[in-house]
Every structure is written in structure tokens, then in C-alpha cells.
Amino acid sequence: MNALALPAPLPAALAAWARGGPGQPYVLLADRPDGTVVRCGDAVAKAHAPGSDPEALAARIRVAGSGALAGVLLPPLRTGAVHGRPVSLWPYGTPVDPARPEDAPWEEAARLLAALHRTGPRDLPGPVPPMRGPAKVARALRRLARAPQPDPDGVRAVRAAAATLPDWARGEGVPPAGGAVLCHGDLHLGQLVRHPAPDGPWRLIDVDDLGLGAPAWDLARPAAWYAAGILAPEAWLRFLDAYRAAGGPAAGPPGSDPWPELDLAARALTVQTAALALAKAAPARRPLDEGERLMLDSCVRMATFRAELEP
């Protein structure tokens, strides 16, 4: 028996690529269809989704490494390919402790987003692809459509809530022209790290969905959590006020009602979250957890108000 040794599993192969040799110790941080992430000491290697557009991904990683985003996005160390997948290497940063979401750096997250959104298009290193937020809504709805026997009442509510959105917000068709700025595209508390670890300044990570688009998308997850009753008003206002104070363009001037600006994107993220929750709960034959149930409740209320919500 020679030559035909089985290839190393992806996490081990990633670690070998990160460390420049096989048999390296690593910690598996994530292993999902859309990305596998391992930590090797002071670096983190990611294998991006198999279907990633390689040019768009390269452009996104270039943005993360550009001087214009220094202090906002964690810059990459290098890129490559492992098992035919595009891979990238990043410095390790300390994340928000998932057991202590109350420690979330809402003000810092808001200031980083405002800086991202205020980046001038001419400061970007070449053409930047669209932000993938709407594409992710579409993907969540497709995943729900394929899920085995999801809760039929839940599916009805999610579909009715999705019908309140314009086509472009569901990834069909082109967003309205104008107002597109550099956006993260997938903000949540797992997208913030302190670098250098453990107590350096906060940075945004994970540029797979980054691109030009509607900046309200980056505020929409916290907005949707707040609207559903998941995020306390105090935390929401810390985030919103810090974003406005930092000159962020997505939520109207300080003191004004932000919802005319945020409503559509917050509905889109609510639909996305509820669709994914139902799609994940169905094969596991489990009920929704409390947070998932509250997001679905928001969809039910959107369906009730659908005649009045701006399509």
C-alpha cells in the first residue's frame, strides 16, 4: 500500500496549511457547510464555503487588508487553497464570551459599523462586490422550503412576513440605486474580537458577506432582536446612540425615530432568522427555543400588518 493515503480531514488539513506542516495541534471553532474554522495558537484559519465566488471573496479579503479599514476590520495574514476550497489565515482575537452576552461591546460595535459605513468608495482597493445580506434572506427561505416537515403554521407566518418585503430584499432583483456603502453584511456578537488578545481594541471579523449595500442591514439584527423583545431597550439604545454619535448614516439623525430607516432591513433579518430557526428545528423534531419563538412571533405580527407595511 503506497501513494493512495487518504487525504487529511479538512480541519487537520487547514491546520497543516496554517502551520506549514502536518500533525499540528488545532482547536475546531466551527465546522458548517458554509465554513470550517480552526484555531492554531495565535492564528485562525478558515476554509470558506465551497460555492464561494473566488474573485468576490478575494476582493472582500483585500478590503479587510486595506489601510482604509485599519482599526475597523481585522486584517488577513495570507490566503490560499486547501482541498480545492479557498482558505484564509487571520490573527487570533478574543471573542465576546457567549456565556456573557451582557458584556457585549454595543458601543464599540456601533462605532466600528459607523466607521465601515463612512469609508469612502475611492478609498477601497478596487471594485467591491455587493453585500450579501439579501442573498442570505433568499438562502434561508430556500432552506426552509427544503426542510423536512417544518411547522406548517410557522412556515405560513414566515412566508406571509417575507411577502411584506420588496423582491430585492429577498435576493431577487437589484436593490434601489443610491445610498450603497461598505457594509459587513452579517453582524452578530460572534463577529467581534479583541486584537491583540485578550484585551486589545475591538475589531470586526468575517468578511464573507461584506460588500456595497444598504447600511441599515448591519443594524437590522440588533433592531430585530429589540423589536422582538429579545434585546433590552437599554442595550438597543446604547448601540443606536453610539452609531449615530459616530456619524453612522443608516438610522437617521440623533433623537429621531430610527424605524423609518431600519424597518425594512429589520423585517428582512427577522424573516431570515425565523426561517432558519424553523428549518433547523424540523429535522431535529424539536420545538423552537424562546428566542426563535419570539422572532417567529414578530413574523406573525408582520403578517397581521402586511397591508400597511411598505412592500
Q: What number of chain residues touch other proteins (CB under 8 A)?
A: 51
For the bound state, the minimum distance from the C-beta of residue 250 to other proteins, rounded and expressed in Å, comes to 15
Residues 180-209 interacting with other proteins (rule: CB under 8 A)? 186, 188-190
Nearer to other proteins, 171 or 258 (CB): 258
266 binds other proteins, rule: CB under 8 A: yes
For the bound state, the minimum distance from the C-beta of residue 5 to other proteins, rounded and expressed in Å, comes to 35
For the bound state, the minimum distance from the C-beta of residue 186 to other proteins, rounded and expressed in Å, comes to 5
Compute the half-sphere exposure of residue 191: CA atoms within 13 Å on the CB side of its CA: 23
Compute the half-sphere exposure of residue 308: CA atoms within 13 Å on the CB side of its CA: 5
Nearer to other proteins, 16 or 258 (CB): 258
Residue 70 burial (CB count, 10 A): 11
For the bound state, the minimum distance from the C-beta of residue 257 to other proteins, rounded and expressed in Å, comes to 4
DSSP state of 101: G
**Contact string (CB under 8 A) for other proteins, positions 273-302, x = contact:** x---------------xxxx-xx-xx--xx
Residues 6+ apart with CB under 8 A from 172: 138
247 binds other proteins, rule: CB under 8 A: no
102 binds other proteins, rule: CB under 8 A: yes
Q: Which of 182, 231, 268, 282 binds other proteins (CB under 8 A)?
A: 231
Element (H, E) at 153: helix 152-162
Cα dihedral sign, 282-140-249-192: positive
Cell (9 digits) for 207: 468578511
Q: Give the CA-trace dihedral at 132, 88, 111, 32, to 10 degrees.
A: 60
Distance of alpha carbon 285 from alpha carbon 240, whole angstroms:
37
Residues of this chain that interact with other proteins (CB under 8 A) are 34, 96, 98-99, 101-102, 104, 136, 186, 188-190, 225-237, 241, 254-255, 257-260, 263, 266-267, 273, 289-292, 294-295, 297-298, 301-302, 304-305, 307-309
